[in-house]
Amino acid sequence: MRDGRPRSGAPRRYPCAVTLHLFDTSARELRELAPLHPGEVGVYVCGATVQGPPHIGHLRTDVAFDVLVRWLRRSGLRVTLVRNVTDIDDKILAKAEEAGVPWWAWALRYEREFAEARTALGVLPADYEPRATGHVTEMVDLMATLVDKGHAYTTGDGDVWFDVRSWPGYGSLTHQRLDDLTPSEDEGPSGKRDPRDFALWKSPKPGEPLTAAWPTPFGAGRPGWHLECSAMARRYLGDAFDIHGGGIDLRFPHHENEQAQSHAAGLGFARTWLHTAWVSQAGEKMSKSLGNTALVTTLLGQTSAAVLRYALASVHYRSVLEWGPETVAEAEATWGRLAGFVRRAGELVPGVDPASAELPAAFVAAMDDDLNVSAALAVVHEHVHRGNTAIADGDLVDLAAAVAVVRAMLDVLGLDPVAWQGTDAGAAGRALDALVRAELEARAAARAARDWATADAVRDKLAAAGVVVEDSPTGARWSLKEQS
């Protein structure tokens, strides 16, 4: 573990060819990944608008694309991951003003909270994590191209708009007719040509700080939300790249607008679009506006980061994840079984290197099928069962092979239990561990004194609380009873 992040135990044995199929939400079908540049994949993921603390819905997208990147790299591809930070927008300015702090300080505070949450859940760092405010030059260049080509126009001093009717392909990403679309939410003057036109550049509003505006040939102002991602994707991945992703709620208008302005500027832009489904509570999408968010910091105080990651990673990225107490309970039980097996195997066959393991064909097929983690985890559990059978039979050779394969598969999902050893288990986990260990010490003292009645009473008390005690040559260990 380094800087709070689980260390990687990823084996480096790659398949000979890439056979990954992903669901392209633009084409609305599974398509085989054919990298633009052989052996390399460029991925752009829309990151956070850092207006407030991260909730579990945000991290669902981060974990899903982390699994994708891990699998691409495990398949032998060189991956460049870009995840942007939107560090200026209307909400950031409004919330900072209400709090009486500079807007950039407000944004930086929550940018750090997002980074800490990703690190806690084992999300690998992006290769580049550009801020919108650091790429104004690229945005102005792209905007000037659109104006020169007749796809954008100005109104007033500093307002620049994309002319949606100038681009026949507008609506193609989400398969909508222009006349059926609702007007853009961007505020603007009456001079907008079409209510659906969206802002590339926004002039300062009355009362906004002078630090929130940059000079351009079209007047001072700040970037529109959509322009920044097109400019930053181009800066780090080129005029065309392989995969663009984000939450399903970004398909329209954000991603539709990104694609339109980029194509109108003559860029190839994204070849494949991937979108994660949202996290819901009681059937409603989790969002700040609905007030039903589950903050990551709160959840990390209640359970372990590994359990949270398992809960997020174990559901297919295109399936809605219903979040509730039972979600965490089920993840805790399953993670306990996986980690418990690896721990027991490690005591019996220490030093097993998962790099020596060949991934099972069924696991590879599942991951190549649009990252079918449910099917992949079924293969994991099959090998855990084989390992437990080997333990019961005293077959250490089969056990070593089984635990190596299990760890190799779990590492693809960022869930190798060995990599998570020593990570923060959360306040509840720490408290429980301390209490159980105190009871086990009392039991050990009673056994040493040959006070079998007291020792048995301690064990029975723990069993009644759902704690299973196992004696081993290295001492007693405990786990929670599996739920039926």
Taking each helix axis as running N to C, give the angle between helix 325-348 and helix 373-393, from 0 to 180 degrees, rounded to the nearest 10.
Answer: 40
Q: Mean pLDDT lowest for which of 1-5, 265-269, 285-289?
A: 1-5
Q: Do the domain assignments include residue 362?
A: no
Q: Are 381 and 410 in contact (CB under 8 A)?
A: no
**Total structural domains within the chain:** 2
Neighbouring residues of 175: CB distance < 8 A, sequence distance ≥ 6: 28
**Does residue 425 surpass a pLDDT of 50?**
no
Q: Do the domain assignments include residue 215?
A: yes
Q: Do the domain assignments include residue 2?
A: no
Q: Do the domain assignments include residue 227?
A: yes
Integer Cα distance of 455 and 428 in angstroms: 26
Q: pLDDT tier at 169 (50, 70, 90 boundaries)?
A: very high
Q: Is the dihedral of CA 258, 261, 264, 267 positive or negative?
A: negative
**Domain termination residue (choose one: 285, 316, 332):** 285
Query: Residue 480 has which token pair?
Result: 């929670």
**Domain termination residue (choose one: 285, 305, 322):** 285
**Domain termination residue (choose one: 285, 316, 336):** 285
Q: Do the domain assignments include residue 304?
A: no
Residues above pLDDT 70, as percent of the chain = 88
Q: Mean pLDDT lowest for which of 94-103, 202-211, 276-285?
A: 276-285
Q: Do the domain assignments include residue 354?
A: no
Mean pLDDT of 17-21: 81
Output the pLDDT for position 2.
Answer: 33
Q: Mean pLDDT lowest for which of 240-244, 330-334, 462-466?
A: 462-466
Residue 173's CATH number:
3.40.50.620
pLDDT digits (tens, 9 = 90+) for 64-108: 999 999 999 999 999 999 999 999 999 999 999 999 999 999 999
Q: Do the domain assignments include residue 238?
A: yes
pLDDT digits (tens, 9 = 90+) for 318-364: 999 999 899 999 999 999 999 999 999 999 999 999 988 999 999 99
Q: Are 301 and 283 in contact (CB under 8 A)?
A: no
Output the pLDDT for position 286.
Answer: 62
Output the pLDDT for position 210.
Answer: 93
What is the residue-averaged pLDDT of the chain?
89
Output the pLDDT for position 483.
Answer: 47
Structural domain of 161: 21-26+34-285
**Does residue 141 surpass a pLDDT of 60?**
yes
The whole model's pTM is what? Answer: 0.83
Q: Do the domain assignments include residue 387?
A: no
Q: Mean pLDDT lowest for which of 81-95, 148-162, 257-271, 290-304?
A: 290-304
